[in-house]
Amino acid sequence: MEKRKILIIIAAVLIAAAGIVFSVKIIMDTGTERPYIIYIPKRKSGTDFWVSLVAGAEMAAKENEAILEIVAPEEETDIEGQNRRILEAIEKKPDVIVVSPNSLEKNLEVLKQVKKAGIRLIYIDSVTSENIQDAIVATDNYQAGRKMGEYAKKNIDKSSVIGIVSHVKNSSTAEEREKGFRDALGDYASQIVEVVYSNSNYDIGYQEAMKLLEKYDIDCLACLNENSAVGAARAVVEKGLGGEILMIGFDNSTEEIKFLEEGVFSAIVVQRAYSMGYLGIETAVKSITQDTWPANIDSGSLLITKDNMYDPENQEVLFPFYGN
């Protein structure tokens, strides 16, 4: 009886071992081992932009059979929190770390450790001051800013007072959009009286915009991300100035689209956030499965006005289909 038990145990061990060897052989022979990717965005999904971007990233992971882990700080201003998550990601030794850096400078040294660890590094949405990434997928933020400035320039004059409600100081997206806006304004750029920052928070955007409206007779407000745009629009409406101030927003949250319909915004620049997230993760997979991959992908942007928002092609951008 004891001998029979021993034989059964030995047989079970051999079967289990054979199963392990067989599963490893399948992975090696067919190349079906799933890529492991960690994505660290700027913040947890608190805006329509990030909800859309993350939906695109998740769809790309699903279609490419990748394992995708997403970890993020609570707010875009929590640079230390993002750096801590990057270091934790390195310890997990994924194939690729994908990051949307919160700061041009303050994420840089930590991100260099990703490269030292031999892990692929992909940027989505934003960059650092040094090009250490293996690829980047983002809106061309300078050109997006130019679109805002070109539109504003056609609708203001030499007496117009201009304010900017930006988002996070020293972030690449804020700096590039503002530069594009100023460059496109040309001589009118001297009429920008102040730049304030929402810290990517609706309430702060509202408060800072309200201060601008009380301090100056503002004729034009350029708002450089979703939080800044929505917060500023709420302030403009509360002051009874909807439709009287030339407002140009950024991104396409439900509330922003409503403000565009009502004429509070004259125009908004819309990013293709879903495509950005999708292409970012797709590029991450390509970086470990192919010998070459695109190093710089512009996910695109479009300026949409109240007059053309109902055009079919613009409806597709304003209301993207996320898939399942």
Do 240 and 265 touch, CB atoms closer than 8 A?
A: no
For Cα atoms 126, 195, 53, give the angle at the middle one, nearest 5 degrees: 25
pLDDT for 33 equals: 86
- pTM here is 0.82
**In which domain, by residue range, is 128 found?**
36-139+272-293
Model pLDDT for residues 188-198, shown as the tens digit of each residue: 999 999 999 99
Model pLDDT for residues 79-95, shown as the tens digit of each residue: 999 999 999 999 999 99
Residues 203 and 190 occupy one common structural domain:
yes
Q: Which residue has the tokens 């407000």?
A: 221
Q: Indicate the SS3 state at residue 163.
A: strand
Residue 251 lies in a domain: yes
10 Å Cβ neighbour count for 319? 10
Residues 155 and 254 occupy one common structural domain:
yes
Helices (H) and strands (E) in the chain, counts: 11, 12
Residue 259 lies in a domain: yes
Residues 167 and 259 occupy one common structural domain:
yes
Q: What is the CATH number for 183?
A: 3.40.50.2300
Beta pairing class for 246-250 and 162-166: unpaired
Residue 313 lies in a domain: no
Model pLDDT for residues 8-53, shown as the tens digit of each residue: 434 443 434 434 332 332 233 334 589 999 999 998 767 888 999 9
- The DSSP code for 58 is H
Residues 194 and 77 occupy one common structural domain:
no
Residue 202 lies in a domain: yes
Residue 68 lies in a domain: yes
Residues 55 and 157 occupy one common structural domain:
no
For residues 210 and 235, give the distance between their C-alpha atoms in angstroms, rounded to a whole number.
6
Model pLDDT for residues 84-124, shown as the tens digit of each residue: 999 999 999 999 999 999 999 999 999 999 999 999 999 99
Burial of 201 (C-beta count, 10 Å sphere; 0-12/13-18/19+): buried
Residues 210 and 62 occupy one common structural domain:
no
Residues 135 and 276 occupy one common structural domain:
yes
pLDDT for 321 equals: 57
User: Given a cut of 80, is residue 271 above it in pLDDT?
Assistant: yes
Residues 148 and 264 occupy one common structural domain:
yes
Residues 155 and 265 occupy one common structural domain:
yes
Task: Name which of 131, 68, 73 is nearest 95 in CA terms.
Answer: 68
Residues 104 and 51 occupy one common structural domain:
yes
Residue 300 lies in a domain: no
Residues 240 and 148 occupy one common structural domain:
yes
Residue 151 lies in a domain: yes
* Chain centroid to CA 286: 20
Q: Report the Cα–Cα distance between both ends of the chain, in Å, rounded.
A: 56
Residues 208 and 288 occupy one common structural domain:
no
Task: Name which of 70, 91, 173, 88 is nearest 128 in CA terms.
Answer: 173
For residues 184 and 294, give the distance between their C-alpha atoms in angstroms, rounded to a whole number.
29
Model pLDDT for residues 273-315, shown as the tens digit of each residue: 999 999 999 999 999 999 999 999 999 999 999 999 999 888 8
Residue 79 lies in a domain: yes
Burial of 254 (C-beta count, 10 Å sphere; 0-12/13-18/19+): exposed
User: Given a cut of 60, is residue 7 above it in pLDDT?
Assistant: no
Could you tell me the two tokens for 210? 């309200």
Beta pairing class for 192-197 and 162-166: parallel
Looking at the structure of the chain, the number of domains it has is: 2
